Amino acid sequence: MKKWMLLLLGLVAGMELCARQLTVQSPNGKIAVTLFPKQPANNNGEWCLSASYMANGKSSVVIPHIDMGLVRNDQDFSKQLKFVKAGKPLLVNERYTTLHGKKSVCTNQANEVVVAFENPAKEKFNVIIRVYNDGIAFRYEFPEKKGTFTVKEELTAYTIPAGTMRWMEKWNTANEWYYTATKGDKVVQQDWSYPALFQPEDKSCWFLLHEADVDGNYCGSKLRNTADPSKYSLAFPDQRDGKGTGASEPVITLPWKSPWRVIVMGGLSDIVESTLVDDVSSPAVVQNTSWIKPGVASWNYWSSNHGTRDYKIVCRFTDLAAEMNWPYTLFDWEWDAMGNGGNLEDAIKYALAKGVKPLMWYNSGGPHTDVGATPRDRMLTHESRVAEFAKLKQLGVAGVKVDFFESEKQDMIKYYRDILEDAARAGIMVYFHGCLVPRGWARTYPNLMTYEAVRGAEWYNNTPDLTQAAPEHNAILPFTRNVVGAMDYTPVTFTNSQYPHITSYGHELALSVVFESGIQHMADRPEGYLELPDAAKSFLKAVPAAWDDTKLVDGYPGQEVIIARRKAHTWYVGGISAGNWERKKTIRFNFLEENKKYKLTLIADGIHDKTFNTEYRVIDKNSTLEIKLLRAGGFAATIAPLP
């Protein structure tokens, strides 16, 4: 540790002498960020970052230019910036615990340097740079103590060489489209959603672009390469989003810090296993968390779009949750119109009597959405939320699902956060649908259990395209969307909705592990689960929704993925494949502890896509196993230590 600290000190001291270049390295020395003038020859005061990665003893420049700066309504903080000083290097070293997610204990460790600039008006502008073992984060700061301004533009932009492979999703307000893989002259110029995954041409590493710790002091952003196909600039929300409500340009009050601009970097396992988005986000503001319980829920919407109107259907899904040992059932939209034998209060009493806690859907309401589904508007104001949450708490409801936000403007960011704040005070869990991609809020508000922001199984109801697209789509999401936070895909469907699926039963079972969500909604109808063979049914009765550790075992975006997740001493493994061909995979278990024996229960594809093949073995860390996967196939497994 002393060696890297001395190196960092030397580099910072060198910059103070020449004001030309500063390099900050990660604690393990693999990742380096360099700050330098954009045009050294004429020194016009524009500054850039570059990012490098060390693989096999060779350093490669992965992102050659990251433009920096902001334009306020009063002044420019992107040009004619004079370097003032670089602060003393700081080792950020923190451990924190989580109630749900990839890991129960996370480490926030990085080298941090604060670089101070002045513009021609002598106004102060800081850039805070952190370099982690699994990535980079930087943010802007106005340290002055007073003043309110509008940010007209953020100049952050990532220059990505043309030969870099990229997996990106076309921008849409609900973040529910597909990822496409492109490079070179195939790169499309448009607006893009977060997160975005890249692999440099030399294959030295992978990196993923995102942002974190977005709060009511700023808006959400997206990526835009319309001016230059290889340059991804940060863009503010379109003024048309949310039916034109709210301002697209954020208003800030000093002192102020921007959201973190995050680059997760390393091997594919580093990407999938990273908690960097949460690491840089604000610590929990909820002190008593005993009421926050991750878990699995039954869900009637997928098989019966208006199911919550029908008391008898609601009871069937409550019975399913009770039979499967799932703690929750969701009353989706239209619960306020429930009939056919009972009303909402009757359904809640029925669920609680079965040992199942209800969750309830709400339309976010307001002028930002035209969706008229009810109940609507009850989340809009602090007063109405407090009253609604108090009523739900008294009835025994555990959480709410809030839908249809349709904007990432500053006012909508405040709305999200206000819902979380009021729900936390009331002891109500929350998850968002029709929403933004996670920005690290689950660390700050651990009662935020999951987000949609994905083209999930719900789309089997809507259009026919997911039928053919799902195998590849499912094999991309663990490397992209699910990296940055919980994902409510509503998986594990064995029967069909309006449009069929071609994924095998083994593939569907695996999704309960492959996809991480603090509340995992099992989307199928009751018979889809109750008619499963005993091994598969037992697996779904036991599979957790929160994890102590996560390991990427194998995979490549859009082709296949195998993920192992641990709860206490038991590992759960899920593997899926894409493509129209069968394959065999050799699985290694080197994530297990040394000198221990484990019982493996493997539930894999059977002779056709609607059957399973179950086998049992004793394994250890040195074991290998060959598994046959059908086209769009998969498998699930439990690995439990033997006495």
In a shared domain, residues 36 and 110: yes
Residue 447 placed within a domain? yes
In a shared domain, residues 461 and 586: no
In a shared domain, residues 462 and 606: no
Which pLDDT does position 40 carry in this prediction?
79
In a shared domain, residues 527 and 582: no
CA distance 497 to 509: 17
In a shared domain, residues 221 and 158: yes
Q: Give the domain-ending residue among 490, 508, 543.
A: 543
Provide the token pair at 543.
């599979």
CATH of the domain at 24: 2.70.98.10
* 188 alpha carbon, distance to own chain's centre: 24
* 442 alpha carbon, distance to own chain's centre: 10
Residue 10 placed within a domain? yes
Interval 201-219: pLDDT, tens? 999 999 999 999 999 999 9
In a shared domain, residues 115 and 213: yes
3-state SS class at 217:
coil
Beta bridge partners of 26: none
In a shared domain, residues 305 and 381: yes
Residue 552 placed within a domain? no
Residue 38 placed within a domain? yes
CA distance 117 to 122: 9
Of the chain, the end-to-end C-alpha distance in Å amounts to 39
Give the chain's residues under pLDDT 50. Answer: 1-19
Alpha-carbon Rg for the chain in angstroms: 25
DSSP state, 607?
Answer: S
Q: Give the domain-ending residue among 509, 543, 577.
A: 543
In a shared domain, residues 271 and 311: no
Residue 180 placed within a domain? yes
- Contact, 213 vs 281, CB < 8 A? yes
- What helix, strand, coil percent values describe the chain, rounded to 5? 20, 35, 40
Residue 290 placed within a domain? no
- Contact, 115 vs 90, CB < 8 A? no
In a shared domain, residues 139 and 257: yes
CA distance 620 to 593: 8
Residue 557 placed within a domain? no
CA distance 632 to 562: 13
CA distance 556 to 484: 18
Which pLDDT does position 7 carry in this prediction?
44
Residue 548 placed within a domain? no
Of 78, 140, 77, 86, nearest to 111 by C-alpha is 86
CATH of the domain at 627: 2.60.40.1180
CA distance 502 to 470: 8
**Count of domains observed in the chain:** 3
Which pLDDT does position 43 carry in this prediction?
67
Which pLDDT does position 11 carry in this prediction?
44
Which pLDDT does position 12 carry in this prediction?
43
Outline where DSSP puts E strands in 270-347. 295-299, 328-331
Query: Containing domain of residue 15, as a range?
Result: 2-279
CA distance 381 to 589: 51
Interval 604-632: pLDDT, tens? 999 999 999 999 999 999 999 999 999 99
In a shared domain, residues 594 and 483: no
Beta bridge partners of 29: none
Tell me the pTM: 0.96
In a shared domain, residues 530 and 610: no
CATH of the domain at 407: 3.20.20.70
In a shared domain, residues 299 and 275: no
Provide the token pair at 418.
């206000």
